[in-house]
Amino acid sequence: MNGDWATFSMAVMSETYDGRCLCSEVRFRAEGAPKWVLWCHCESCRRHSGAPASVFVSFADDAVTMISGEIAKFTSSAGVERGFCARCGSTLTCSNEKLPEETHFHVGAFERADELTPTGAFFAGERLPWFNDRARPFAGLSALAQVAMGRRRNSKSTKS
């Protein structure tokens, strides 16, 4: 019986996704399997997030419970509402009247974001030409290390 309960508990746990904003004022929980996980390359998402693309996970509205705080809303275009934390400004959601009864959460807001792998894309035609969603570190160095090394080289050349 204990083995069965442990298996049941693990299955239930794996279908629970906790999320929050940067300051933790807004916390939420999604229960059950996501409807989908997709990239979005539209200009509106770029402007909302400040990133070259966004990754969203969709949950049915009745699968999401607010734990604390409230998601502030902004109507970004006809039928599209963007959600964010009014305190820290974290981008959190997008909802579209063309996809009723579901909300699309930015994957990065979830504690288990690494498990929410995109399987496709919205608005691929709006993808920035230089954006590669499979980019990897160059020559074993992270991009941050390359920037730091470049700055160090530049500061040495200006001192000479």
Q: What is the pLDDT of residue 14?
A: 63
Enter the pTM of the model: 0.75
Question: Average pLDDT of the chain?
Answer: 83
Work out the average pLDDT over 149-154: 64
Work out the average pLDDT over 20-49: 94
Work out the average pLDDT over 154-158: 58
Q: What is the pLDDT of residue 131?
A: 84
The pLDDT-based confidence of 9 (bands split at 50, 70, 90) is very low
Residue 40: pLDDT over 80: yes
DSSP 46: H
The CATH class given to the 2-159 domain equals mainly beta
23 near 5, Cβ under 8 Å? no
User: Is 51 exposed, middle or buried (CB count within 10 Å of its CB: 0-12, 13-18, 19+)?
Assistant: middle
Q: What is the pLDDT of residue 135?
A: 55
Ordered by start, the domain boundaries in the chain are: 2-159
- How far from the centroid of its chain's Cα atoms is residue 27's Cα? 14
